[in-house]
Chain A
Amino acid sequence: QTVVTQESSLTVSPGGTVTLTCASSTGPVTSDFHPSWFQQKPGRAPRALIHSSTDRHSWTPARFSGALIGGKAALTVSGVLPEDEADYYCLLYCRGVRLFGGGTKLTVL
């Protein structure tokens, strides 16, 4: 059974930079996995941030960027703001199956 793995939690200081990663148990993540990233704040619906590995949605602030790094999908947040504190989920298309990662809780402290 395919598993998508993310860091369970990360902490970053305001103004800092943090990278979240997303790995597949099937092997290196490539563009064929169509990686997407989502942000979710408590009590709110998820909001799409990144699609197709690197592309921002029209509403996504420029401080959020996506990449493929070392066989994983990655989401980097630069110049972190307190409002970026949230849960972040990746979504991969793995061998015909659409799977979310378990999510990363990002704390801004």
Chain B
Amino acid sequence: EVQLVESGGGLVQPGRSLTLSCQGSGFDLDGYAMHWVRQGPGKGLEWVAGISWNSVTMDLADSVKGRFIISRDNAKNCLYLQLDSLRIEDTATYYCARDLNYGDFLVPESWGQGTLVIVAS
């Protein structure tokens, strides 16, 4: 069974940093592209970042470019999202998702349960 478990969320002050992790199990991470998607409280989904199976291709939403970094460690079956210069509007539940394919990250198919990040002073 495919499982994705996010961790690393919590309460953080504006301007500080946080790193989220997504541990995959039941499959080999290196066969798939991966995504991060977030959802603010009471709001809709927002695509945040994607990475190809071999980390050659990455992309970030304009709202987080220059502040967030997506990375992966296939040997550990783990996906990461480094969140720097956090803003109040970054408050959200962050979901990781496995893509349907290994190359282009276009179809987030299997989702984790999410980790909550609260940015507040």
Chain B contact residue count (CB 8 A cutoff): 21
Contacts A89-B45, A98-B47, A98-B50 given: A45-B111 contact, CB under 8 Å?
Answer: yes
B25 within 8 A of A: no
CA–CA, A3 to B108, complex, Å? 20
Tell me what chain A mostly uses at the interface: helix, strand, loop, or mixed.
strand
Are A48 and B106 in contact (CB-based, < 8 A)? no
Chain A contact residue count (CB 8 A cutoff): 22
Contacts of B109 in A (CB 8 A): 48, 51, 57
Contacts of A100 in B (CB 8 A): 37, 44-47
Are B107 and A46 in contact (CB-based, < 8 A)? no
- Chain A interface residues (CB < 8 Å from chain B): 34, 36, 38, 40, 45-48, 51-52, 57, 87, 89, 91, 93, 97-103
